[in-house]
Amino acid sequence: MSGETSVRVRTLQIAVGNGRYYGGGNAVDKDAAIDDRHLDLYSLEFRRAWKLALMARAFRYGEHGAWDEVRAIKAQEFEIRARRERSVNADGEIVTQTPAHFSIRPAAVTVFAP
């Protein structure tokens, strides 16, 4: 990937989205949009899972990037690798394993609406 930056983290979860909402109405990022031509990634990098409860409202509105324990990144592509193979979930289904590559394909889908 051109302009590649590599970051090694301990994380509970990584989410990548191409629109604003996921998982029953949570927002990946408050400024994310389906047509902004980039992906939004967040990584939960805290050691104590109970902090997740404190972040519930922030996740609902896409404001979790303000927390020190949440890494938020925007890019046109991401590659995620793990020491051990991990499942990748898309819309509630396991679709592949890590390593996983995510990228934007501009104008890949044509939608006709009445």
> Is 8 domain-assigned?
no
For residue range 61-76, what is the model confidence (pLDDT) as tens digits? 666 666 777 888 899 9
Q: Which two tokens stand for residue 62?
A: 């896409």
> Is 76 domain-assigned?
yes
**Predicted model pTM:** 0.76
* Structural domain that includes position 82: 13-103
CA distance 74 to 53: 25
> Is 114 domain-assigned?
no
Report yes or no: 70 and 62 within 8 Å, Cβ to Cβ.
no
Closest Cα to residue 75, out of 18, 30, 25, 23? 18
Q: Number of folded domains in the chain?
A: 1
For residue 101, count other CB atoms closer than 10 A to its CB: 12
CATH code (residue 50):
2.60.200.40
> Is 79 domain-assigned?
yes
Give the SS3 label for residue 66: helix
The predicted pLDDT at position 1 comes to: 52
> Is 113 domain-assigned?
no
Closest Cα to residue 60, out of 28, 14, 13, 15? 28
For residue range 17-61, what is the model confidence (pLDDT) as tens digits? 888 777 777 777 778 888 888 998 888 887 777 777 777 777 666
Residues 6+ apart with CB under 8 A from 63: 30, 57
> Is 88 domain-assigned?
yes
> Is 109 domain-assigned?
no
